[in-house]
Amino acid sequence: MTEEKKSLNFLEQIIEEDLIKGLDRSKLRFRFPPEPNGYLHIGHAASICLNFGLGQTYNAPVNLRFDDTNPTKEEQEYVDAIKQDIQWLGFKWAEELYSSDYFQQLYDWAILLIKKDKAYVDDQTSVQIAEQKGTPTKDGVNSPYRNRSVEENLALFEKMKNGDFEEGSHVLRAKISMTATNMLMRDPIIYRVLKKSHHRTGNDWNIYPMYDWTHGESDYIEQVSHSICTLEFKHHRELYNWFLKQVYDGDSLKPKQREFARRNLSYTVMSKRKLLQLVKDGLVNGWDDPRMPTISGLRRRGYTPKSIRDFSETAGIAKRDNITDIALLEFHIKNELNQTAPRVMAVLNPVKLVITNYPEGKKEILIAENNPEDENAGVREIPFSREIYIEREDFREQANKKFFRLKLDKEVRLKNAYIIKANSVVKDENGDITEIQCTYDEDSKSGSGTESSKRKVKGTIHWVSIPHAVPAEVRLYDRLFTDEAPDSHKDKYFKEFINPDSLKIINNAFVEPSLKNAKIGDRFQFQRLGYFNVDDDSTAKHLVFNRTVPLRDSWAKMDQKK
Ligand code: ATP
Ligand code: MG
Tens digits of per-residue pLDDT, 40-69? 999 999 999 999 999 999 999 999 999 999
pLDDT, tens digit, for every residue of 327-355? 999 999 999 999 999 999 999 999 999 99
Cα→Cα distances 102→65, 130, 154, 171, 229, Å:
11, 29, 20, 19, 20
Q: For ligand 1, say whether the CB of 332 is within 6 Å of any of its atoms.
A: no
Is residue 18, in this structure, part of any structural domain at all?
yes
Q: Which residues pair with 120 in a beta bridge?
A: 173
pLDDT at 561 over 80: no
Of 47, 69, 89, 98, best ligand 1 pocket probe by most atoms within 8 Å of the beta carbon: 47
- My answer on whether 301 and 366 are in the same domain is no
Is residue 431, in this structure, part of any structural domain at all?
yes
- My answer on whether 313 and 430 are in the same domain is no
Residue 211 CA, ligand 2 centroid: distance in Å: 9
- My answer on whether 313 and 189 are in the same domain is no
pLDDT, tens digit, for every residue of 133-159? 999 999 999 999 999 999 999 999 999
Is residue 5, in this structure, part of any structural domain at all?
no
Q: Residues, the chain, total?
A: 562
Q: What are phi and psi of 531, to 5 degrees?
A: -100, 135
Q: What are phi and psi of 179, to 5 degrees?
A: -120, 10
All residues at 6 or more sequence positions from 135 whose CB lies less than 8 Å from its CB, including other chains: 183
Residue 115 CA, ligand 2 centroid: distance in Å: 30
CATH number where 80 lies: 3.40.50.620
Residue 494 CA, ligand 1 centroid: distance in Å: 19
pLDDT level of residue 6 (50, 70, 90 thresholds): confident
Cα→Cα distances 545→426, 468, 528, Å:
31, 18, 16
Q: For ligand 1, say whether the CB of 65 is within 6 Å of any of its atoms.
A: no
CB under 8 A, 24+ apart: contacts of 174-179: 174/113, 174/118, 174/119, 174/213, 174/242, 174/243, 175/117, 175/118, 175/119, 175/120, 175/146, 176/118, 176/242, 178/132, 178/133, 178/134, 178/139, 178/140, 178/141, 178/142, 179/134, 179/139, 179/140
Q: What are phi and psi of 98, to 5 degrees?
A: -135, 130
Q: For ligand 1, say whether the CB of 229 is within 6 Å of any of its atoms.
A: yes
User: Which ligand neighbours the alpha carbon of 274 most closely?
Assistant: 1
Q: For ligand 1, say whether the CB of 373 is within 6 Å of any of its atoms.
A: no
Q: Which of 220, 240, 260 is the last residue of a domain?
A: 260
Q: For ligand 1, say whether the CB of 47 is within 6 Å of any of its atoms.
A: yes
Of 44, 64, 313, best ligand 1 pocket probe by most atoms within 8 Å of the beta carbon: 44
Q: What are phi and psi of 151, to 5 degrees?
A: -60, -45
Of 230, 269, 317, 329, best ligand 1 pocket probe by most atoms within 8 Å of the beta carbon: 230
CATH number where 419 lies: 2.40.240.10
- My answer on whether 81 and 219 are in the same domain is yes
Is residue 197, in this structure, part of any structural domain at all?
yes
> Which of helix, strand or coil describes residue 310?
helix
Beta carbons within 10 angstroms of residue 255's beta carbon: 23
Q: For ligand 1, say whether the CB of 215 is within 6 Å of any of its atoms.
A: no
**Sign of the dihedral defined by the CA atoms of residues 291, 294, 299, 300, in that order:** negative
- My answer on whether 351 and 456 are in the same domain is yes
- My answer on whether 232 and 289 are in the same domain is no
Do the Cβ atoms of 547 and 477 come closer than 8 Å? yes
User: Which ligand neighbours the alpha carbon of 44 most closely?
Assistant: 1
> Which of helix, strand or coil describes residue 319?
coil
Dihedral of the alpha carbons of 308, 313, 319, 325, in degrees to the nearest 10: -50
553-560 average pLDDT score:
49
Q: Which of 260, 291, 314 is the last residue of a domain?
A: 260
Q: What are phi and psi of 11, to 5 degrees?
A: -75, -40
pLDDT level of residue 553 (50, 70, 90 thresholds): low
- My answer on whether 88 and 175 are in the same domain is yes
Q: What single-letter DSSP state applies at residue 4?
A: P
pLDDT at 277 over 70: yes
Q: Which of 462, 482, 503 is the last residue of a domain?
A: 462
- My answer on whether 91 and 177 are in the same domain is yes
Q: What is the chain's mean pLDDT, rounded?
A: 95
Do the Cβ atoms of 486 and 499 come closer than 8 Å? no
Ligand 1 atom nearest 38 alpha carbon: 4
**Nearest protein Cα to ligand 1, atom 31:** 44
pLDDT, tens digit, for every residue of 149-206? 999 999 999 999 999 999 999 999 999 999 999 999 999 999 999 999 999 999 999 9
- My answer on whether 336 and 356 are in the same domain is no
DSSP alpha helix (H) spans, 148-236: 150-162, 211-222
- My answer on whether 351 and 338 are in the same domain is no
Instruction: Tell me how many domains the chain contains.
Output: 3
104-132 average pLDDT score:
98
In the chain, what percentage of residues exceed pLDDT 90?
A: 96
Q: For ligand 1, say whether the CB of 475 is within 6 Å of any of its atoms.
A: no
Is residue 394, in this structure, part of any structural domain at all?
yes
Q: Which residues surround ligand 2, an ion (CB under 5 A)?
A: 35
Q: What are phi and psi of 39, to 5 degrees?
A: -90, 155
| Residue positions annotated with a catalytic role | 35, 262, 272
Is residue 419, in this structure, part of any structural domain at all?
yes
78-92 average pLDDT score:
98
CA 447 to chain CA mean position, Å: 43
Amino acid at 13: Q
Is residue 450, in this structure, part of any structural domain at all?
yes
Residue 322 CA, ligand 2 centroid: distance in Å: 19
- My answer on whether 245 and 301 are in the same domain is no
| Residue 487 domain boundaries | 272-342+472-561
Is residue 265, in this structure, part of any structural domain at all?
no
- My answer on whether 331 and 403 are in the same domain is no
